[in-house]
Structure 1
């Protein structure tokens, strides 16, 4: 059963507005476009956001995410050395192999440097070497990618390889899923995200003949063009066109964008910058609750406590068109309940649903404290009270 708790809306009202107002429309030649404000969960733009499409190198975000998860768990070390198999080098070097880190056969490369090669250089060779190093084969690694996608709730995506190379349609994503994946990178692995994603260039490999170092620039079209830009990943194949999943943070307000199906390298730059600037300029964020604020409570079944306080896991806000009179018309706490113990402190167990004159926005709420499962006698007493109609 879904329970919805009503909150007082008077204290949340921003400014009384007579009628719904919309932000100026955003037109883009991108076949697919998506923009979300993480401070509120508001979707600012959605153009064919659930269309299945080839991701090209944007698939490497999942390769990186798998590595980040293993590092977080302690199952993978940044200083672990991986061997470049001659067969892998043979397949993934030269002009026909697309973007490359310029690895050499039998070279020993650390996980850390391979991640730089994947994120900054978009190296197809680096992606496959890391996949083989982690899972033995790229096919086995793709299975791990799909398990991770399922865990993250990416319902419109499937991964057949580690680098997004065309594979007869086995690898596909949606813009909505790419944004969710980007969000997982940013929120679940903030230190690793900061370490790898905002680097403007990386040096690896030697030129033939002179043996000079090879330095390549990050293709991220927002870096150096949009304040606060710090990720994520471009992609391009003839099949997919030019695409980009990007993010920027300005004064604590973070946006994530996806564009795909663009016609050229320069058009990708232009449209990415325009969309991100529109997101920050045409919309404004209004604070609701500071991180740690108790917003409400939820009923708990068979727990040491019969309810748990719900708190804001971060500063929560709503997003409204810039310069527009607006107000909150209703707020609810929504959860699938009653909740069942045990519940971990900080566990996402409910959502704050805020309805404004522009629409509905949903942000997560988490448990303020852990709730242990009730013991035998406590469960028996709970059952007796329910039987007698006392609960």
Structure 2
């Protein structure tokens, strides 16, 4: 028998065995590295965890849905998450809640340095005739053809819901109500109001003037976040202009010390409307009720929604923005890994008592190859509760990884080949 033919079968299994061992070693090493770098970090534990309660395993009772309103919504301020609502994306006249949009524009123009708190704002004859004491709507009482500081005129609009003050502010900032309405719509689009259109600064019924409960909650959230000083005017309980003192029409300011805004509204077409916000502990909620039947009913309905939301929901920050939450292997780069994180903090609104049941998961590509730019989207973080996605955010690269030199790329190419054998 040919000796070569006898020895060949022995060499082939040995060669295959060596290669298999090598492949197994590389694969095992790669797997361990992948687990170390791609493992989803644990969620932070609350600073003061409370003991489990019997009610934690019970379903949340249905919200106290307003029975006489046309549309309503309850939103968590920190996350923008809708906790409950009906018809909240249906168009409806916002009545004097419109003035919250006017406040946002005034505050934005002040922040841009275009107008100032001590500007002298004229109560023009047009503003007085269209929104003053001779009209059916609410008015501030600033005398016609006289001026008042912008900040005082704004309080007259916010606290007293003065239509005349709203028109005077619009004319001071943009020259006319029509020009000011264009600013309102531009800012509304910027803050994400997807189905709103404004044609005046006060909210009296007009063709093409509409919003939704969802958009109005977004507006309230934006005013609170972007301009807290202007927002604070909404909790003033009364305001005096000359000999006239008028109360804030938001009844909840007297009923509930945690309520600090936001705005009421009423016309015959719109019904009774209320945008309310309250803060208890470190949690803030926003409720909007549109088209209700009375001043008392809109306050009752908004109060019930706020109480329900605070009783049964809580807000947690899961991850900070700009902070590394994981690392991932990178091939062919000047460095061998990239830091992964989120662009902004990740928060979640969830049923109370169920935080420990949250399940985070990090979804990243199996193979990352340089170059990678700082801020580049790499994957996703998803957090679920009992199988339902509660929050998800993009994972981004917190550091850039430039492409490595020729020999680094060649070396990594070899090991990438072994990794796939």
Pairing 1:355–2:384 present: yes
Give me the whole-angstrom Cα distance separating, in 2, the residues matched to 1:120 and 1:365. 41
Greater RCO, CA 8 A, separation 6+ = 1
Shift in CA distance, 115/351, structure 1 to aligned 2, threshold 3 Å: farther
- Per the alignment, residue 218 of structure 1 pairs with 248
Let me know the Cα RMSD of the aligned residues: 4.2
How big is each residue's C-alpha offset from its partner over 1:136-160, in whole Å with a ceiling of 9 and x where there is no partner?
A: 0000000011111111121100001
Shift in CA distance, 145/353, structure 1 to aligned 2, threshold 3 Å: farther
Correspondence for 2:291 among 245, 254, 261 = 261
- Per the alignment, residue 98 of structure 2 pairs with 59
Correspondence for 2:62 among 5, 16, 25 = 25
Task: Say whether the 8 Å CA contact 2:234–2:261 is kept in structure 1.
Answer: yes
Correspondence for 1:34 among 73, 83, 90 = 73
More deviation in 320-329 or 45-54? Answer: 320-329
Q: TM-score, normalised by structure 1?
A: 0.77
Correspondence for 2:182 among 124, 127, 143 = 143
- Per the alignment, residue 240 of structure 2 pairs with 203
Aligned-partner SS, 2:253: coil
- 1:342 is displaced (CA, Å) by 9.1
How big is each residue's C-alpha offset from its partner over 1:223-243, in whole Å with a ceiling of 9 and x where there is no partner?
A: 132342111111111101111
- Per the alignment, residue 208 of structure 1 pairs with none
- Per the alignment, residue 25 of structure 2 pairs with none
How big is each residue's C-alpha offset from its partner over 1:150-189, in whole Å with a ceiling of 9 and x where there is no partner?
A: 1112110000111111012x11001111111111101112
Give me the whole-angstrom Cα distance separating, in 2, the residues matched to 1:149 and 1:50. 15
Aligned-partner SS, 2:389: strand
Task: Say whether the 8 Å CA contact 1:40–1:361 is kept in structure 2.
Answer: no
- Per the alignment, residue 167 of structure 1 pairs with 206
Task: Say whether the 8 Å CA contact 1:62–1:181 is kept in structure 2.
Answer: yes
- 1:118 is displaced (CA, Å) by 1.5
Report how many residues are paired.
355
- Per the alignment, residue 133 of structure 2 pairs with 94
Unaligned 5+ segments in structure 2 are 1-36, 47-51, 329-334, 365-369, 415-421
Unaligned 5+ segments in structure 1 are 206-212, 299-304, 344-348
Normalized per residue, the structure richer in strand is 1
Pairing 1:277–2:315 present: no
Normalized per residue, the structure richer in helix is 2
- Per the alignment, residue 357 of structure 2 pairs with 327
